[in-house]
Amino acid sequence: MLSATSTSTQKTFSRVAIVGKYQAEGIEEHLSELANLISNLGCEIFIEAATAKHIHLNGYPTKKVEEFIGAIDLAIVLGGDGTMLGIGRQLAGSNVPLVGINMGRLGYMTDIPIKDVQTVLPKIIKGEYEADARSLLDAVVIRQDKEVDQALALNDVVVNRSGISGMVELSVRVNGSFMYNQRSDGLIVSTPTGSTAYALSAGGPILHPRVAGILLAPIAPHSLSNRPIVLPQDAVICIEVVDGREVIVNFDMQSLTNLQIGDCIWVRQSEKHITLLHPRSHSDYKTLREKLHWNEYPSTF
């Protein structure tokens, strides 16, 4: 999840919303400390409504995510990349930037460790940060010429079989041109952000966001000649279900639609994007080294 960043010292933040992964151990204490820190910086604080429902944090007003737009300047996500994916989709196109704080395990998007919050977050709120724009995918499921579902994806759109069924056969067209029929366990359509998620485990490349491309990565293809391919950002992809039982399409692995033979999933780059804010010291390459263990060497050869 490399980032296309720009440095800014112009925008500061005064209305801040906090979103927490309320299932996480110790979240209540961390949220309380975070709220106190932001309050002491002179900011108006809101707690996201679902977070507030599960966490006993008194003294702060609440807002639903859909109420953030126009009412807050910055959303702070305390949790993991999964939490950030869900909030990111809801705020896509809103011009509300996000900051991700992890509580132990380093994330690609939630990249600020909780232990560094006291020193890092005040600088970001005061305008010292790098802004990182991320693209999303628009997906529409068409069945017998009717739209049956549509969704945004920040990581990926995945068409695949259920765990107990056999291979699926998919027909893929790009901008109206036939690309291939493939038999496989499925197909991943990924943003550059998602290139370090499921697509990476399927053998896809890591994309830098300046490539501005869309990645197609087959999952365990029957033919080894079906390889990952990077398409231009204006590609319009049509995936038709030709054969297979219990085929589904996932959006960021957080929502899904059951598919039938003949269904078509249309995927293109969305006009919406999200903006992540990182500290000035942020390095995408350091994150990759730590997540992928590029800096580790075996003790014996």
* Distance separating alpha carbons of residues 69 and 57, to the nearest angstrom: 23
- Residues 254, 143: one domain? yes
Q: What CATH number is attached to the domain comprising 256? A: 2.60.200.30
Q: Does the pLDDT of residue 131 top 60, yes or no? A: yes
- Residues 37, 117: one domain? yes
Identify whether 64 is part of a domain: yes
Identify whether 297 is part of a domain: no
Convert the pLDDT of each residue in 204-251 to its tens digit.
999 987 789 999 999 999 988 899 999 999 999 999 999 999 999 999
Q: What CATH number is attached to the domain comprising 101? A: 3.40.50.10330
Of the candidates 41, 85, 39, 92, the one whose C-alpha atom is nearest the C-alpha of residue 66 is 92
- Residues 158, 240: one domain? yes
- Residues 189, 288: one domain? no
pTM of the model: 0.91
- Residues 60, 9: one domain? yes
Domain extent for 38? 4-128+279-292
For the chain, the distance separating the N- and C-terminal CA atoms, rounded to the nearest angstrom, is 30
Query: pLDDT higher for 18 or 283?
Result: 18
Q: Sorting pLDDT into bands at 50, 70 and 90, what band is 299? A: low
3-state secondary structure of 76: strand
Identify whether 235 is part of a domain: yes
Identify whether 299 is part of a domain: no
Q: What pLDDT is recorded for position 2?
A: 47
**Which DSSP string corresponds to 200-251?**
HHTTPPPPPGGG-EEEEEEES-SSTT---EEEETT--EEEEEEE-SSEEEEE
Cβ-based neighbour number of residue 26 at 10 Å: 10
Q: Does the pLDDT of residue 120 top 60, yes or no? A: yes
Identify whether 163 is part of a domain: yes
- Residues 99, 146: one domain? no
- Quote the mean pLDDT of the chain: 91
* Distance separating alpha carbons of residues 100 and 21, to the nearest angstrom: 11
**Contact (Cβ atoms closer than 8 angstroms) between residue 95 and residue 120:** no
Say what angle helices 117-125 and 27-40 make with each other, to 10 degrees.
40
- Residues 84, 164: one domain? no
Least confident of 53-57, 177-181, 202-206: 53-57
Convert the pLDDT of each residue in 56-92 to its tens digit.
777 899 999 999 999 999 999 998 899 999 999 999 9
Rounded to 5°, the CA angle 72-75-77 comes to 160
Identify whether 187 is part of a domain: yes
Cβ partners under 8 Å of residue 93, min gap 6: 270, 271, 272, 273
* Distance separating alpha carbons of residues 259 and 160, to the nearest angstrom: 10
- Residues 29, 101: one domain? yes
Q: What pLDDT is recorded for position 176?
A: 97
Q: Does the pLDDT of residue 25 top 80, yes or no? A: no
Q: Does the pLDDT of residue 156 top 80, yes or no? A: yes
* Distance separating alpha carbons of residues 77 and 117, to the nearest angstrom: 12
- Residues 120, 230: one domain? no
Domain count, the chain: 2
- Residues 98, 168: one domain? no
- Residues 65, 151: one domain? no
* Distance separating alpha carbons of residues 247 and 210, to the nearest angstrom: 33
Identify whether 185 is part of a domain: yes
Q: Sorting pLDDT into bands at 50, 70 and 90, what band is 16? A: very high
- Residues 117, 165: one domain? no
Identify whether 301 is part of a domain: no
Give me the active site residues, please: 81
Q: Does the pLDDT of residue 5 top 70, yes or no? A: no
Least confident of 12-21, 66-75, 97-106: 97-106
